[in-house]
Every structure is written in structure tokens, then in C-alpha cells.
Amino acid sequence: TSPCDRPVPPTAGLSHDKWEIDPTELHLLEELGSGQFGVVRRGKWRGSIDVAVKMMKEGTMSEDDFIEEAKVMTKLQHTNLVQLYGVCSKDRPIYIVTEYMRHGSLLNYLRRHEASLSTNVGYLLDICIQVCRGMAYLERRNYIHRDLAARNCLVGSENVVKVADFGLARYVLDDQYTSSGGTKFPIKWAPPEVLNYTRFSSKSDVWAYGVLMWEVFTCGKMPYGRLKNAEVVDRVQRGLILEKPKACVKEVYEIMRKCWAHCPEVRPSFRVLKEQLINVNQGLV
């Protein structure tokens, strides 16, 4: 018989690509919380590796586009990025499997440890430098985060801080989150060009990084307090910026302010920011 009328074996083309994880090798444990895509649980991969597993809630993500992008994301590897190990995409719901960070989000960590952190300027600056290292790596790889904030960074063993969920904003289907008029859009971390034209770039990540620095030095306060989104948009358009946090030394606030230059080209790159922050940190010791 000719090949074309022989039934195609079901496993054809199912070459187990390295970013495809076999769900039978995953053992799911307690729930860690839930995010844009639904519940996230701690798990064990191949018996011993601690992982976090996002279980994609139906209708929350453009899954096929994400599965394509996952191949790129697994190649982004840096000590200050939460590593994507792979996906389970053969069944629904799909699972996103990443490294596990035992202390949870940086925002909750700052709020939980405010008492001890607020007097430890050196450590607050070290947290900012760790996030900057991860972001400088993404910048070098021409990879835009699109939702950098303390809530989207995680803290692991030995208080290592890593950037998480980079690039995922592109796959959220909830237009309350994706459109700048939506109730879930991160207005308080967005620069003018994103508010007006949703023009994302590494320089819009730099603006968000400035707000993240403010979050770190206030140990997790809400930027612009209880101001409504419309009021924040108005202030940002008029060039009003966040005030200097008490725990922040002048040199650090000067760097923060540069991240909020109205013009994206005027803002420093993450590479330059990293050098400046390390210089200040050395000056502090």
C-alpha cells in the first residue's frame, strides 16, 4: 500500500521538544495563590525539583500564541529571572512550569518585613540592583516585560530577588487588563507614551522600574496612595512625579527620577542604571 493511505501513527511529530514537560513527571502540592491565568500550585518535578505550576484557566490566555512563545522564553536564563522550565500543552488546561521561589512576591515580602527593612538602606538598594540585573539581561535580549512591578518579582532562598512573568502580558485575554482604559491596567507603573499610545519598549520598562524602586524604598506602599487612575494619568501627563521616600538617600532618588523622564530616549538604559546603582551602593559601605 502507498504511504498516503497508511494511517498516520498518533505519535508522529510528537517529538518530545525540550520545552514540553510530561505531566506524569509532575506531583502537585499546595496552592500558592492565583494570578491573571488562574491558580498556581507548588509542585515537585521528577521527584525532587521544586516548581511552581500555573494551571491556565479556560479563556484567560491566548494559549497557542503563548505555547509558540514558550520556546523563546525557556531560552531566557539569568540568576535574576524566574526560570521557565517548560509547559504541559498536550492537554487542557495547559500548565506553565517555572522555578519555585519560597518567599513569594517581592511586594508581600517588603510589607511583611517593613520593620527590619526600613532601616537597612543597603539591603533595599541590593534588592533594586538584583531586579536591575535581571532587567538589563532582558534589555540585552530585546525582551520587554510590559508589567514590571514589585508584585511581579519573587523572593527565593538566601533572599535572592528575581523578575517573574516577563512578556506574559501579551497573552492575557482580559481586556480590562490589556487596554489602558481598563480597570486592571497597571496605570501607576505606565509612562506617558504607554498611557497615550500603548507604546511599550525597554524604556517603558525603565519607567516601571523607577516606580518599583519607589515601592522598595517605601517597603511596599501603593504609589500615588489612593489617587484614582484618572488623577494619576493627569499628574503623569503634567510631569508630576512620586516624592522621595523617607528611607531613600538623595543619590538614589536622583537615579529614580531619571527613570521618569517624560521622553523615553532621555531615560537611562538598564545597563547604565545598574552601573549607577552599584556605584552608589559601593559609596554607601
Ligand X SMILES: CN(C)c1ccc2c(c1)CCN(c1cccc(-c3cc(Nc4ccc(C(=O)N5CCOCC5)cn4)c(=O)n(C)c3)c1CO)C2=O
Q: Does 139 bind ligand X (CB under 6 A)?
A: no
Comparing CB distances to ligand X, the nearer of 145 and 248 is 145
Query: 154 — alpha (psi -120 to 50), left (phi > 0) or beta?
Result: beta
- Where does the chain show beta strands of DSSP type E? 26-35, 38-45, 49-55, 84-88, 95-99, 153-155, 161-163
The CB-nearest residue to ligand X is 35
Between CA 45 and CA 61 the distance in angstroms is 24
Note if 65 is an active site residue. Answer: no
Query: CA 52, CA 41: separation in Å to the nearest integer?
Result: 6
Residues 152-211 that bind ligand X (CB under 6 A): 152, 154, 164-165, 168-169, 172
- Whether residue 88 contacts residue 23, with contact meaning beta carbons closer than 8 Å, is answered with yes
What binding mask, one character per residue, do residues 41-80 give for ligand X by CB under 6 A, x or -? -----------x-x--------------------------
Instruction: Choose one: 5-13, 72-80, 93-101, 255-263; the region binding ligand X (CB under 6 A).
Output: 93-101
**Catalytic member of 64, 91, 147, 175:** 147
Contacts of residue 243, Cβ cutoff 8 Å, sequence gap at least 6: none
Which residues are within 8 A (CB) of 82 and not within 5 positions of it... i.e. 6 or more apart? Answer: 98, 99, 101, 154, 162, 163, 164, 165
Question: From the centroid of its chain, how far is CA 220?
Answer: 16
String marking each residue 103-132 x if it binds ligand X according to CB under 6 A: xx----------------------------
The number of residues that bind ligand X (CB under 6 A) is 24
Least distance CB 39 / ligand X (angstroms): 8
- Catalytic machinery residues: 147
Positions in the binding site for ligand X (CB under 6 A)? 32-37, 40, 52, 54, 82, 98, 100-104, 147, 152, 154, 164-165, 168-169, 172
